[in-house]
């Protein structure tokens, strides 16, 4: 009976809250940092996940309406204020078209080249802007396990120190330090695993968006090229 009571008490001291409270200040700092990183990861997942999905749907609708429009200039003047990747690509193309064709003499080959450069630059800028916070996920996903491992090493060092100080290698002496170490590793993985999964998911979405923008830019380039041939 007394042994059962002792085991229950030991189990209580190995609960997550107890492990944090009895941990060394270094291990506590590691745990707190990893918990904050985990919270930040989930905040990015919820905000970026919803935002990127909404942005892709809005861009798809924008492109569909554009190809249905009868007049490109009127459509652009009406929708130039849209804060969408497709709208930015269209704006880059229209701006370059208007600058390149405002003179009496038009360099058709040069205009085609400048149109491609302008729209490709717009695509790269939009992808970079959307990937800004996503890069943080990759950083957390790669660094968090090593930070947790640092807490693990520190906790094991404390266990060996406790053994040397008490001259006792029983499980009751080493268990708290080892448990703290493993708990720090678990928190590191808790932060890293969702970050890696979310990063891969967002990267695939951005790749699809970049491909869609590339196809849209190719269609615009073909349209402008036909206009140059008509003017010729």
Task: Give the pLDDT confidence of 118-130 residue by residue, as tens digits.
Answer: 999 999 998 888 8
Q: What is the residue whose two structure tokens read 């967002």?
A: 202
DSSP labels, 167-225 = T---HHHHHHHHHHHHHHHHHHHHHHHHHHHHHHHHHHHHHHHHHHHHHHHHHHHHHHH
Give yes or no for residue 227 having a pLDDT over 90: no
218: pLDDT confidence band, cut at 50, 70 and 90?
A: very high
Cα separation, 63 vs 155, in Å, equals: 56
Identify the band that residue 70 occupies on the pLDDT scale cut at 50, 70 and 90. confident
Q: What is the mean pLDDT of the chain?
A: 82
pLDDT cut 70: percent of the chain above it: 85
Pair of tokens at residue 61? 């609708």
CB-CB contact of 30 with 144 (8 Å): no
Residues near 138 by beta carbon (within 8 Å), at least 6 away in sequence:
195, 196, 199
What pLDDT, on a 0 to 100 scale, did the predictor assign at position 192?
92
Whether pTM > 0.85 for this model: the answer is no
The enclosing H or E element of 73 equals helix 72-79
What pLDDT does residue 7 have? 41
Q: Which residues contact 7 (CB under 8 A, 6 or more apart)?
A: none
For 7-45, the pLDDT digits (tens) are 444 554 557 677 777 777 888 888 889 999 999 999 988
- Highest averaged pLDDT of the listed ranges 91-105, 148-162, 186-200: 186-200
pLDDT digits (tens, 9 = 90+) for 171-181: 666 666 677 77
Question: What pLDDT sits at residue 199?
Answer: 92
Quick one: average pLDDT of 45-73?
86
């Amino acid at each position: 009976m007394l042994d059962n009571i002792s085991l229950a008490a030991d189990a209580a001291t190995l609960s997550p809250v107890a492990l944090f409270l009895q941990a060394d200040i270094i291990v506590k700092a590691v745990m707190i940092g990893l918990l904050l990183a985990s919270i930040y990861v989930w905040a990015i997942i919820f905000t970026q996940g919803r935002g990127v999905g909404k942005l892709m749907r809005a861009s798809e609708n924008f492109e569909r309406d554009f190809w249905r429009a009868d007049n490109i200039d009127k459509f652009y003047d009406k929708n130039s204020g849209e804060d969408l990747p497709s709208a930015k690509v269209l704006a880059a193309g229209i701006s370059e078209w208007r600058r390149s064709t405002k003179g009496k003499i038009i360099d058709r080959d040069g205009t085609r080249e400048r149109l491609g450069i302008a729209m490709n630059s717009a695509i790269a800028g939009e992808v970079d802007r959307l990937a800004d916070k996503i890069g943080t996920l990759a950083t957390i996903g790669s660094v968090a396990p090593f930070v947790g491992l640092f807490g693990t090493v520190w906790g094991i060092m404390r266990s060996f120190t406790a053994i040397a100080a008490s001259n006792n290698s029983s499980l009751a002496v080493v268990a708290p330090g080892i448990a703290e170490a493993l708990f720090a590793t678990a928190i590191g993985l808790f932060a890293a695993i969702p970050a890696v999964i979310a990063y891969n998911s967002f990267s695939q979405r951005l790749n699809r968006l970049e491909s869609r923008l590339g196809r849209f830019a190719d269609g615009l380039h073909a349209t402008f090229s036909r206009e140059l041939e008509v003017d010729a």
